[in-house]
A = this chain, B = another copy of it.
Amino acid sequence: MSQLIKEGDYVLLYLDRRRTYLVRIEKGKNFHTHKGFVQLENLIGKNYGIIVKSSLGVEFVVLKPLLRDYIVKSVRKTQITYPKDVALMVMFSGIGTGSRIVEAGTGTGALTTALAHCIKPEGRVYSYEIREEFLKNARKNLKRAGLIEFVELKNKDITVGIDESDVDAVILDLATPWLVVPHAYAALKPCGTLVSFSPTIDQAVKTVEALKENSFIDIETVECLMRGMQIARGKTRPHTLMTGHTGYITFARKAIMSEAQSNPSPNRQ
């Protein structure tokens, strides 16, 4: 059966694609917009997906927030994290339910949210961040998304070292990923993955160099451009404006270079 809306839930009030609002359902609380207010209490016990009218008669659809909504609506103290990049980082990392992941830096917690969504309920995200106010903010975002219980937020400098070991993946979005590479090698299980996101080319170059020096293999750097389409019969065209750049994503796997295993030599056969 479908879940009904209950007190304490977050809902996404949808006016149109550009105007959506992530709101917590509380008794006695009204949500005010320039299109009138919505009495949130009235939504309790209703189905997600229904239409509600504001005090001015404007219709909003009451949506259940998806992972992407939590990412995009993350309260920010730093730059935006794009769902397209999060999607690729998760795919490249190979993680899934049950995975144990080290992440740094936590930032807004947007990427942390996506990672927690993927590894729950048995997995765990260890997320490093040196700026305490960022951790506070990230905690709020993770709570709102209902994922805080799968995350350990750590107010530590990951460039100094990683506490965990035998983890499945190390996911990096910080200014100096290359400084983390040796620690990541130590923390990863054999064949574990490292994924790093960096806005500048120079960061990508330094990271790839560090990966090569630290016995990572299968190294790949890509960028991803997403372009929206304006779909209307007879007038279809790509949107005029687009985000031209967010960052480069670098992927690698840990190899165990010291343990080479020989086949019997050909002349012995």
Contact = CB atoms under 8 A, between A and B. Distances in A.
A125 to B, nearest CB: 14
B51 A66 contact: no
Interface in A179-194: 189-193
Contacts of A54: 263
Interface in A45-75: 46-57, 59, 61, 63-64, 66-68
Interface in A29-54: 36-39, 42-43, 46-54
A261 B59 CA distance: 9
A36 B166 contact: no
B253 A227 contact: no
A238 interface: yes
A236 interface: yes
Interface of A: 1-2, 14, 17, 20, 36-39, 42-43, 46-57, 59, 61, 63-64, 66-68, 83-84, 86-88, 90-94, 96-97, 114, 117-118, 120-121, 166, 189-193, 199-202, 204-205, 208-209, 217-229, 231-248, 250, 253-257, 259-266, 269
